[in-house]
């Protein structure tokens, strides 16, 4: 078996890309053993135990930029994590370390630099995070979701920046039947449009409040809605369920919603947009204003310039704005069709397989023994 270590997490956007790449690697070469290194306090605590992959969760913390006194925990956690990583590497030295971003990746990437273990990174956002920028000079390759991110990675080897798109679990081939998918939600099999409202795995209170008010005022005729509120606020909005509105706390599997959807209203996370576009679903994007370096705004504005999405800043998110935007799209099918066509043009549904091929080439270049 050949071990490849994946380091990253904290949020789903830094964890799920690694899982998609790991599965693509095993499909391509069953002798590969993916091993995940994550943080005890991140989403990986809930997700990784449900996967097929061995993993270790360490006492890792982000850099605390406001409450700087908490960085004592960051330093102590980094020291204990280094020792645990060293013990794991002595048991079995990784062939490659794959960084997928976030504070959970830093110590493992630093260990690979010191011990000359080949390293690659997957950079998900149009504004690469601190970890991606810091370790770019030592990375054999950096796989970009947004080609626009290359301009912000100034310290890298020539040819190391590779535009792959975001590694996701691709839509099934053949695609699910649209009529059957709508019927599963108890919507008419044809006619009208289905809007997916999705604020990410945790939901978005800002989007949810606007949606509830919009439904109360009256939706456009022949519009049907699949609405994932997030578990924390589901009880506040469950009463909005109706003949044309399906309210769920969590959309799992989300593919059941994608299969029925014509248009989405969502946050602008890299994985969310990559999945939507792979299904050919254009989006009205409401960037999370508190995202690090405001990267979701840059994501949304980049996709709007590409003609694949419409960006509405959260401060401008009102019932009137949403109602006018969606009515315009419903009344102008050509505009909606153009958005969908440009979304498909941005899609890279087989990015995980492409990244896996690159990583396996690096494995094969390593000296034997």
Q: For residue range 342-367, list pLDDT tens digits in order.
A: 999 989 899 999 999 999 999 998 76
- Residues 192-218 have a mean pLDDT of 92
ω into 68 cis (within 30 of 0): no
pLDDT classification of 135: cutoffs 50, 70, 90: very high
d(CA 259, CA 271): 17
State whether 129 and 252 are in the same domain.
Answer: no
State whether 340 and 208 are in the same domain.
Answer: yes
Cα 242 from chain centre: 30
State whether 243 and 284 are in the same domain.
Answer: yes
Burial string for 19-35 (b: 16+ CB within 10 Å, else e) reads: bbbbbbbbeeeeebbbb
Beta strand residue intervals within 147-305, DSSP E: 161-163, 193-198, 223-228, 245-248, 263-266, 283-285
Joined together, the tokens standing for residue 281 give 């679903």
State whether 208 and 293 are in the same domain.
Answer: yes
Q: What is the mean pLDDT of the chain?
A: 91
pLDDT at res. 185 = 97
pLDDT classification of 252: cutoffs 50, 70, 90: confident
State whether 131 and 199 are in the same domain.
Answer: no
pLDDT at res. 202 = 75
Contact 258, 168 (CB under 8 A): no
pLDDT classification of 99: cutoffs 50, 70, 90: very high
State whether 166 and 225 are in the same domain.
Answer: no
State whether 90 and 137 are in the same domain.
Answer: yes
User: Which residue pairs from 315-318 have beta carbons closer than 8 angstroms and sit at least 24 positions apart in sequence?
Assistant: 315/289, 317/206, 317/207, 317/210, 317/286, 318/210
pLDDT classification of 100: cutoffs 50, 70, 90: very high
State whether 160 and 192 are in the same domain.
Answer: no
CATH classification of the domain holding 248: 3.40.50.2000
d(CA 119, CA 362): 9
State whether 272 and 336 are in the same domain.
Answer: yes
State whether 220 and 335 are in the same domain.
Answer: yes
State whether 341 and 354 are in the same domain.
Answer: no
Q: Is residue 88 predicted with pLDDT exceeding 90?
A: yes
Give the domain extent around 360: 2-170+350-365
Of 206, 251, 260, nearest to 231 by C-alpha is: 251
State whether 108 and 77 are in the same domain.
Answer: yes
Residue with tokens 């994501």: 299
pLDDT tens for each residue of 167-186? 988 898 888 999 999 999 99
Domain count, the chain: 2
């Amino acid at each position: 078996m050949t071990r490849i270590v994946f380091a990253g997490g904290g949020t789903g956007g830094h964890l799920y890309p690694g899982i998609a790449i790991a599965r693509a690697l095993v499909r391509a070469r069953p002798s590969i053993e993916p091993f995940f290194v994550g943080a005890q306090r991140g989403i990986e605590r809930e997700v990784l135990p449900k996967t097929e992959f061995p993993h270790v969760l360490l006492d890792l913390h982000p850099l605390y930029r406001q409450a700087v006194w908490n960085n004592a925990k960051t330093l102590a956690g980094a020291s204990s994590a280094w020792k645990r990583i060293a013990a794991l590497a002595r048991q079995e030295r990784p062939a490659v370390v794959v960084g997928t971003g976030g504070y959970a990746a830093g110590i493992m990437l630093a260990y690979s630099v010191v011990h000359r273990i080949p390293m690659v990174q997957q950079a998900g956002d149009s504004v690469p995070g601190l970890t991606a920028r810091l370790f770019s000079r030592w990375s054999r390759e950096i796989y970009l979701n947004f080609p626009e991110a290359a301009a912000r990675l100034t310290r890298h080897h020539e040819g190391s920046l590779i535009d792959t798109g975001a590694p996701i679990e691709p839509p099934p081939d053949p695609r699910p039947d649209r009529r059957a998918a709508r019927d599963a939600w108890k919507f008419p099999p044809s006619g009208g449009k289905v809007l997916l409202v999705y604020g990410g795995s945790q939901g978005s209170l800002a989007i949810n409040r606007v949606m509830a008010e919009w439904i109360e005022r009256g939706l456009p005729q022949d519009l049907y809605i699949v609405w994932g509120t997030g578990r924390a606020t589901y009880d506040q909005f469950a009463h909005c369920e109706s003949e044309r509105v399906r309210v769920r706390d969590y959309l799992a599997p989300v593919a059941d919603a994608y299969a029925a959807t014509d248009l989405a209203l969502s946050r602008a996370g890299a994985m969310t947009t990559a999945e939507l576009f792979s299904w050919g679903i254009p989006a009205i994007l409401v960037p999370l204003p508190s995202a690090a370096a405001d990267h979701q705004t840059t994501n949304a504005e980049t996709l709007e310039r590409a003609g694949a999405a419409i960006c509405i800043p959260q401060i401008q998110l009102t019932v009137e704005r949403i109602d006018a935007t969606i009515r315009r799209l419903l009344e102008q099918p050509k505009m909606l069709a153009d958005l969908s066509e440009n979304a498909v043009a941005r899609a890279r549904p087989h990015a995980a397989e492409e990244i896996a091929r690159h990583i396996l080439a690096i494995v094969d270049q390593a000296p034997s023994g």
